[in-house]
Amino acid sequence: MATFSDNPPKLRGCQGLPPETKSASPGLKSGRGRFGMQHDCAIGMSKERMMEIRRQYCNPMTMKVTYYKKPVFIHQGHMQWLWDVDGRRYLDLFAGVATVSVGHCHPKVTAAAEHQLKRLWHTTSIYVYPPLHEYCEKLASYFPDPLKVIYLTNSGSEANDLAMLMARLHTGNFDILTFRGSYHGGSPQTMGLTSNAAYKYPIANGLGCTNTMCPDVFRGPWGGSHCRDSPVQTIRDCGCAQGHCMANEQYIGQLKETFATSVPSRIAAFFGEPIQGVGGAVQYPKNYLKEAYKLVRERGGVCIADEVQTGFGRTGTHFWGFQGHDVIPDMVTMAKGIGNGFPMGAVVTTPEIAASFAKGVHFNTFGGNPVACAIASSVLDVRDGAQQISLDVGTYLMTELAKFRDKYEIIGDVRGKGLQIGVEMVKDKVSRDPLPAEAMGEIFEDVKDMGVLIGKGGVYGQTFRIKPPMCITREDADFFLAVFNKSIKNYMDRR
């Protein structure tokens, strides 16, 4: 693993910036980067002015979610790298919240967008135009039968909202189940699916949604060292016989209790992320979803896989997260990586469910926009071994991070698949109490100051989330590992 000096890398004067045509805008400074071409290294508006506008005119919530005590002022991106307005480079291991799938400003995706922009910006699906149909056919080819009918939306919340409506119309039932700790969107309807107090408001929302115990084999009451499909297991003892998972039986028992006490005998749907995203890369026992799907279908419900964060090869072993659980859902929702950051989402379902939904008129002005379809199609074309990178680099990252877990008392768990990784921080391994927010913030800020951007998640904000563009290298992984190790050591030395 790479070593790390006490002096973090600060690339000034635009060193390392991607190639870009020099801007003619007044007040812009220009420099010559390592790619040997002219580019802008700063924007004309000052940081102070941007924050003033943010406070005065922008959604007030943006002031709460700048993430850092000292905000990062991003100006440019190229593949796995971001640069701020001062020309400082950051290794992006959060990808705009697990969204930039093939790399910031990927040259081929950018070219596809430019080509379509010159031809047709927008029309709607009341007309027949090539990008929409070319993309739907291409996306459908990535799904097993009978998942072949596609509805295009503008976001993951919108996709999940639509899936809720379709499930209720198809089944004739109303109640929908999700896991505690889940995140499925922030619209009034999907807020009911989302089970995390930070995203809730004190108003009626998401009527008919019930949360059941998340089968979390680290933080939950049951779990052992062989439960999950991950290169790294928990350090909890496991006395289960070969091929037998006591934890899975207990969590399925909790689901059965939810069916017996909290919902009618007939339900509409069950929503589940193959690996929880905002929840902190939480993984379930290996056979849990297979058994849960069976129980849901016995009660008239459909099974919905939320692939907003796990899809498009991020888990490494499979293109879709649900494939790692050996299940076929009735509906799949997706967004984020589908357009590499361009606003887009989708619901993929069966002809039977689509027929039930056709009883009324469904229309989406921007869903299937020509530019969005061209970009999303290009993302599928230029994956450049992204799934294999996710598997190889992600597995390497997790196994190295597991060594830190064994070294530091405050690292309780390392988990995930591919480049969907969570590092859960605790006060100590015995209690597994979450590391306090102040401590998380210290480490988080330190990692940023040394040139790496990561995320946070979990019900208590206790999990570092590592979900980079799927183009990072082993060298990038080593740099992060050195930075993270140094940040943990710095915190431990201050205690």
Query: For 255-314, what is each residue's pLDDT tens digit?
Result: 999 999 999 999 999 999 999 999 999 999 999 999 999 999 999 999 999 999 999 999
The segment(s) of the chain belonging to CATH 3.90.1150.10 are 30-105+385-494
- Burial string for 456-465 (b: 16+ CB within 10 Å, else e) reads bbbbbbbbbb
pLDDT higher at 70 or 112: 112
| Mean pLDDT over the full length of the chain | 90
Largest Cα span, the chain: 70
**Angle between the N-to-C axes of helices 370-381 and 107-117, in degrees from 0 to 180, rounded to the nearest 10:** 150
Segment 198-208 shows an average pLDDT of 89
Q: What is the pLDDT, as a whole number, of residue 463?
A: 98
φ, ψ for residue 292, nearest 5 deg: -65, -45
pLDDT confidence bin for 355, thresholds 50/70/90: very high
Q: What is the pLDDT, as a whole number, of residue 54?
A: 87
Q: What is the pLDDT, as a whole number, of residue 11?
A: 37
The segment(s) of the chain belonging to CATH 3.40.640.10 are 110-381
Q: In angstroms, how far is the first alpha carbon of the chain from the final one?
A: 26
Nearest partner of 341 among 448, 469, 476, judged by Cα: 469
Q: What is the pLDDT, as a whole number, of residue 64?
A: 64
pLDDT(16) > 60: no
Q: Is the pTM of this model over 0.75?
A: yes
Distances (CA, A) of 303 to 52, 153, 277, 334: 46, 20, 18, 15
Q: What pLDDT digit, counting tens, does each position of 418-429 carry?
A: 999 999 999 999
pLDDT confidence bin for 66, thresholds 50/70/90: low
Q: Which CATH architecture has domain 110-381?
A: 3-Layer(aba) Sandwich (3.40)
Q: What is the pLDDT, as a whole number, of residue 60?
A: 79
pLDDT confidence bin for 417, thresholds 50/70/90: very high
Under 8 Å between Cβ of 80 and 466 = no
Q: What whole-number distance in Å separates Cα of residue 166 and Cα of residue 154?
A: 17
Q: What pLDDT digit, counting tens, does each position of 79-109 carry?
A: 999 999 999 999 999 999 999 999 999 999 9
Whether omega before 146 lies within 30 degrees of 0, making that bond cis, reads yes
Segment 98-124 shows an average pLDDT of 96
pLDDT confidence bin for 63, thresholds 50/70/90: low
Tokens of 51: 């924050």
Which of these CATH numbers, 3.40.50.970, 3.90.1150.10, 3.20.20.210, 3.30.465.10, describes 30-105+385-494?
3.90.1150.10
